[in-house]
Amino acid sequence: MSIIEIENLTKAYRVYRKKEGLAASVRGLFRRNYHDVMAVQGIDLNVEQGEFVAFLGPNGAGKTTTLKLLSGVINPTAGTARVMGHVPWKRENAYRRRFALVMGQKNQLWWDLPALESFRLHEQIYRIPPDQFRKGLDELVDLLELDGLLEQPVRELSLGERMKMELTAALLHSPEVLFLDEPTIGLDVIAQHNIQQFLKFYQEQRKITILLTSHYMKDVAALCRRLVIIAHGKIMYDGSLAGIIDRFSGHKVVTLQFAEDRMPDNLDTYGTVLETVAPKAQLRIPRNVVAQQLATMLAKYPVEDVSVEDPPLEEVIAEVFSQANRAAGAEMAEGPSCTTAS
Amino acid sequence: MYDRVVSNWTIFRIALEERLVYRADFAMGTLMRFLPIITQIFLWQAIFLSQARDQLAGYRYKDFVAYYLLTMIARAFSSMPGLASGIVEQVRNGEIKKFLIQPIDLLSFLLLGRIAHKCTYYAIAILPFGLVFFLCRDYFMDGFPDGLTFCAFLCSLIMGFMIGFFLEAAIGMIGFWLLEVSSLLFIYMLFNFFLSGHMFPLDMLKDVQLWGDWSCFDLVKLLPLQYLAYFPAAVFLKKVEGLELITGLCIEAGWLVFFIIFARCTFRMGVRRYSGFGG
């Protein structure tokens, strides 16, 4: 049985729509136009115990709404979801003691007090036995290199340090399911890398189930084997990281280095030229003709070095998003009953 | 049960520590509470001088001073600065989410925080309060009450604190429906100021007839706001005694239960329609 089971999960918001201008504002005092925003539209998803799943999607796609539904912050409009056998929006303490939600943009610690005080509170409200608390805290302090920071007021910590404290607070009660909503947002490259390394190690060691939303492809590539792409409230893709490139990218990026600075001037006959800086050229070639075009070029020109790569993940994801936008645009043109955005 | 006590103690202890972080603000807030009462005493002094009468609606000048000193204590218990607006702000900026995902009850958490707030306040304010009462001891012309009345006074204060808390918490829950409630809070504060007895002793309204035998005071007595200031002061000054005192305390307890249930229901309903604003 899956640890997370989602069936036809739907969340609609009623949103006030106001036209531009003072006259519209005055009219709005007497009569308001509302419309339904479908943040999540009939999602079906199963996650097995120990999986590390990335939720990707453009802003307003429904990623955070899905996490809010699964963590019981909001109630759905329709559909069902069970996490470890619990219905999240019943908000039973038995469930709340088994999961954690970390939001990159939200502080859950006591702002004016040292993080240790918040950890003490978690020890009590999550009913963590004292020896387990001490051991867990020591381990997390060691892994996240927080030594010397526990007695410092949270407001005086850097963003990276604060995120580490948030993670510590979230993990002290050893949750079986962890929801991470953009945990590396706003962090510098080193802090991002540290958090990634920590999450990777912790998940591998504990085999907990993690659902991560992030806009940073490096987070996703470093951590998750399974990728769920959500756009306009619907799941566009659910599969492996490698699979998405196979499915959504119809081309490869071929880089050639020509001998003796002899750059052919008709490269565009083999594919789309992305860049030429003698003696190197980069071409985008449809996947089905890569072998043929490459063989032709190797036969005709003196090539010193060649590499054939998949396009960058960011590019593929952007392509998926634009496909989703086009599909949503077509749906709207057919006559929308509601708007899709958030 | 033991776990819950330890949890509550931890919340209380941390709230106490947080209260002591901003020392200057804390000291100012404690001492400034005495300012409004001084202006009111001067106001009534001026009224008495202009009227050239010993009594106004059964109150002598010294009775007024004693009444105001007592309402100052009652208000120190029942006033909840920033509670409703704090809840609304938490709903608006999304901080309320942590109370939905963590095994912690928002109302209990806020109540413990408020108790910590009041305890810190009284720990510091007891000295100036004591000094003011000592200096003004002659204003209590009928002397201090007996032990039983004093216990009833304490009961009314504690219940006044709880009513004040749950009433304002319920108002704060309106934030789940309306994201801007500052005007609503202003109206509430206005009614509170007049109908709690903070501005003047409510029994002065006995002479204001509404219809039949009903006076304005009879109407105001039906409201819960009187328990926030007037009722405890009236108990101390023995204006409410015997059966009337017991009935008054029972009605106050009834209002308290009503507001506990009301605040819990509005929270539950609010959470059901919550949209998870603020990211």
Both A207 and A284 in one domain: the answer is no
Same domain membership, residue A283 and residue A203: no
The domain boundary residue, chosen from A245, A278, A298: A245
Successive 10-residue mean pLDDT values, chain A, 342 residues: 92 80 78 82 93 88 90 93 95 94 83 88 92 93 88 89 91 94 84 87 92 82 87 88 79 87 83 87 90 90 89 80 76 53 33
Q: What part of A 103-142 touches B (C-beta under 8 Å)?
A: 103, 105-106, 108, 110, 112-113, 117-118, 120-127
B97/A13 touch (CB, cutoff 8 Å), yes or no: no
Q: Mark whether A9 and A93 lie in a shared domain.
A: yes
- Which residue of chain A comes nearest to B272, CA vs CA? A75
CATH at A257: 3.30.70
**Alpha-carbon span B115 to A200, nearest angstrom:** 43
pLDDT in tens, B133-177: 888 888 887 778 889 999 999 999 999 999 999 999 999 999 888
* Domain annotation covers residue B278: no
What is d(CA A67, CA A52) in angstroms, rounded to the nearest whole number?
14
Domain for residue A120, yes or no? no
In terms of residue numbers, what domain contains B19?
Answer: 2-273
pLDDT digits (tens, 9 = 90+) for B83-130: 999 999 999 888 889 899 999 999 999 999 999 988 888 888 888 888
Q: What is the mean pLDDT of chain B?
A: 87
Query: Do both A182 and A271 map to the same domain?
Result: no
What's A230's domain CATH number?
A: 3.40.50.300
Residue B231 lies in a domain: yes
Q: Does the beta carbon of B58 lie under 8 angstroms from any beta carbon of chain A?
A: no
**What would the DSSP string read from start to end of A133-182?**
HHHHHHHHHHHTT-TTTTTSBGGGS-HHHHHHHHHHHHHTT--SEEEEES
pTM: 0.83
Tell me how many domains chain A contains. Answer: 2
Structural domain total, chain B: 1
Most B CBs within 10 A among A74, A89, A342, hence the mutation to make, goes to: A74
Whether the complex's predicted ipTM surpasses the cut of 0.90: no
> Does residue A40 sit in the same domain as residue A89?
yes
Question: Would you say residue B63 lies in a domain?
Answer: yes
A75 min Cα distance to partner chain B (Å)? 6
CA A134 – CA B88 distance, rounded (Å) = 36
The residue out of A206, A227, A245 marking a domain boundary is A245
Full residue range of the structural domain in which residue A281 is found:
250-309
Minimum-distance CB partner of B94 among A65, A106, A113? A106
A9 and A88 together in one domain: yes
Residues of B in contact with A91 (CB under 8 A): 100, 271
Residues on chain A touching B100 (C-beta within 8 angstroms): 71-73, 91
Q: Which residue in B170, B174, B176 sits closest to B256, CA to CA?
A: B170
> Is B279 part of a structural domain of the chain?
no
Would the pLDDT of B56 be above 70? yes
Q: Are residues A77 and A182 in the same domain?
A: yes
Same domain? A208 vs A92: yes
Cα A65 from Cα A231, distance rounded (Å): 12
Question: Whole-angstrom Cα distance, residue A85 to residue A102?
Answer: 21
